[in-house]
Amino acid sequence: MGKRDLLRGNEVIAEAAIRAGCQCYFAYPITPQAELLEHMARNMPRLGRTFVQAESEIAAVSMVYGAAAAGVRTMTSSSSPGISLKQEGISYLAGSNLPAVIVNVVRGGPGLGDIAPSQCDYFQATKGGGHGDYHMIVLAPSTVPEAGELTMLAFELADRYRTPVMILTDGLLGQMMEPVELPEPIDPASIPAKPWATTGASGRDPNIILSFDLDPEVLRQMNLDLQAKYRRIEEAELRYEETMTEDADLVIAAHGTMARIAETVVRRAREEGLKVGLFRPITVWPFPYEPLRELSSHVSTVLTVEMSAGQMWEDVRLAVAERAATPFYGEMGGIVPTPRDILSEVRKHAG
């Protein structure tokens, strides 16, 4: 057993990235993810690894693109307005089949917004915020220890599928301190070989990394290959959690920080005798449509709770497809709904 440390979410993500073998980290300062950047600044050079504070978010993600092409594990992190700027690079990473990890510690938007926690970048993360037909795997942790575990997983999935993977979290989790047993560092030998990487064309034909072809037939095939990969990911990598859903009549659907708060609500509702459960997507892309569809045929209500105007709500309604009522409760602008707020919402719809 390793020892348990009291750490912030941002630090845990940074430390997990290091333990996952992240060799190159590039980022630009923005609140509320500064601790992540600073942890990397303190530790990456000490380990003989690369830390570069880039001149911009665009430059940072472009550096990630280069390092990923060269075959090393690489990451950038930012918060909402910065992630908007990174969309160009994310589209190129997806189009060029490059593995990379991008952390979005979401804050209130749109525009400059504020620096308080929000889930308002769900669409951007899950529906492809940049140009072109692409997705990235999006992992939404709801506790500080899980942020570490999912960061380790993000690097693995990125390499396995040669795709960008996003950690979608928010300032609440980023700043929150929890006791954490940090994951063991990986064995570098466990990182899959990357024969496609631009490591120098010695004893082989040149490797070319691109997302470009002027021949529509070729580009069509590149797109079909991407879509086939996304179907494989949907088959193999769906992750979700159900809490007290066996006998539930009302299920709260929530991800990340909101799911954690909703867990408290479920407990309190049960104390009141209300049959309430929780459905928590861990991969918000791919979204667990089938499990939620299955669950919705046994309940009367699926209440979506989000720190947004109802973005995941669209996926929930797509999954439930009128098998159950699908009300929504959300807050925006960095307001975090309290368990009491949500509980009164639950009472409205339950029983």
Q: Which of residues 147-206 bind another protein (CB under 8 A)?
A: 198-203, 206
Question: Is 55 an interacting residue with respect to another protein (CB under 8 A)?
Answer: yes
DSSP 5-16: EEEEHHHHHHHH
Question: Is 282 an interacting residue with respect to another protein (CB under 8 A)?
Answer: no
Question: Is 68 an interacting residue with respect to another protein (CB under 8 A)?
Answer: yes
Question: Is 208 an interacting residue with respect to another protein (CB under 8 A)?
Answer: yes
Question: Is 65 an interacting residue with respect to another protein (CB under 8 A)?
Answer: yes
CA–CA distance, 80 with 111 (Å, rounded to integer):
9
CA–CA distance, 245 with 241 (Å, rounded to integer):
10
Q: Which residues contact 206 (CB under 8 A, 6 or more apart)?
A: none
Return the number of the residue (207 or 223) whose C-beta is nearest another protein. 207
Question: Is 63 an interacting residue with respect to another protein (CB under 8 A)?
Answer: yes
- Number of neighbours of residue 260 by Cβ within 10 angstroms: 20
From 22-30, 107-115, 272-280, 339-347, span contacting another protein (CB under 8 A): 22-30
Among 16, 17, 27, 67, binds another protein (CB under 8 A): 67
- Number of neighbours of residue 46 by Cβ within 10 angstroms: 9
By CB atoms closer than 10 A (0-12, 13-18, 19+), residue 155 is buried
By CB atoms closer than 10 A (0-12, 13-18, 19+), residue 9 is buried
Return the number of the residue (48 or 111) whose C-beta is nearest another protein. 48
Among 10, 79, 96, 151, binds another protein (CB under 8 A): 96
Residues binding another protein (CB under 8 A): 23-24, 26, 50, 52, 54-56, 58-60, 62-72, 74, 88-89, 92, 96, 198-203, 206-212
